[in-house]
Amino acid sequence: MAFIDLSLFPNQTSNVENLPPQTIRLVARELASLQTAPLEGIRVTFSEQDVTQVEALIDGPAGTPYAGGVFRVKLSLSKDFPRSPPKGFFMTRIFHPNVAANGEICVNTLKKDWKADLGIKHLLLTIKCLLIVPNPESALNEEAGKMLLERYDDYCQRAKMMTEIHAQVARSSKSADEGEPMAKKHATERPAGAAAGADKRRPKDKSKRTLKRL
């Protein structure tokens, strides 16, 4: 997958030292729950040392231009979370009315509609729904918003192309690593027939050497 330059992300410093211990425990508990019982099409990753920087992989919903893609999303919790909402970013490049060039996400839940009891789960579901139903009325990407309203087919084609270029998951390195030892094994193994043939030739070679000495 192709990612947006992290230097473009504002205010990405950790706030774990500024959060009350109780808030850290609540966030860590929710994140652990999301890993134990994942949401459909959403996989959460985080560091136990810093729960203020949450990442998730979101599968592009079927029936949308984003289908078949996997999008990395980041939530950066502020020092006064949960009184104020986190900052949300797409780290994977995407063509979407509500996602700015630097990946910033514009959705009401991350702004005026935020409530302290909503939690990380609600935010991730909201972002996934944004892939299904974009909101061109609050577009950060004006080109995408205008194209969605006026030339929907062109919008779908452009969004699909961006998904195919930037949001495709490459073959895992694990699979490649698992295949390598097997390839080496086959390369160093001699076929049973070849080994048998070599064994059969040995006595003959030995007899030739004996004849020469005679």
* pLDDT tens sequence across 110-144: 988 999 999 999 999 999 999 999 999 889 999 99
- 109 falls within a domain: yes
| Domain identity same for 51 and 13 | yes
Higher pLDDT, 49 or 15: 49
**C-alpha separations of 83 from 48, 94, 115, 121 in Å:** 22, 29, 7, 16
Two structure tokens written together for 177: 């690593």
CA atoms of 140 and 48, how far apart (whole Å): 33
- 114 falls within a domain: yes
Q: How many Cα atoms occupy the beta-carbon half-sphere of 98 within 13 Å?
A: 21
Assign residue 112 the CATH number of its domain. 3.10.110.10
User: Is 77 in contact with 15 (CB distance < 8 Å)?
Assistant: yes
Least confident of 78-87, 136-145, 187-196: 187-196
| Domain identity same for 122 and 33 | yes
| Domain identity same for 207 and 134 | no
| Domain identity same for 78 and 178 | no
Tell me how far the alpha carbon of residue 33 is from its chain's centroid: 19
Q: At what angle do helices 21-36 and 119-132 cross, to 10 degrees?
A: 50
Total count of domains within the chain? 2
State pTM to two decimals. Answer: 0.73
- 100 falls within a domain: yes
| 25-64 burial code (b ≥16 CB/10 A, e <16) | ebbeebbeebeeeeeebbbbebeeeebbbbbbbbbbbeeb
| Domain identity same for 55 and 152 | yes
Q: Per-residue confidence at 48, pLDDT binned at 50, 70, 90?
A: confident
> According to the model, what pLDDT value does residue 141 have?
97
- Neighbour count for residue 89 (Cβ, 10 Å): 24
Question: If you count them, how many residues does the chain have?
Answer: 214
Last residue of one domain, picked from the residues 151, 166, 181: 166
| Domain identity same for 133 and 181 | no
| Domain identity same for 112 and 191 | no
Residues identified as active-site: 106
Asked whether residue 4 carries a pLDDT value surpassing 70, the answer given is: no
Residue-range definition of the domain harbouring residue 113: 6-166
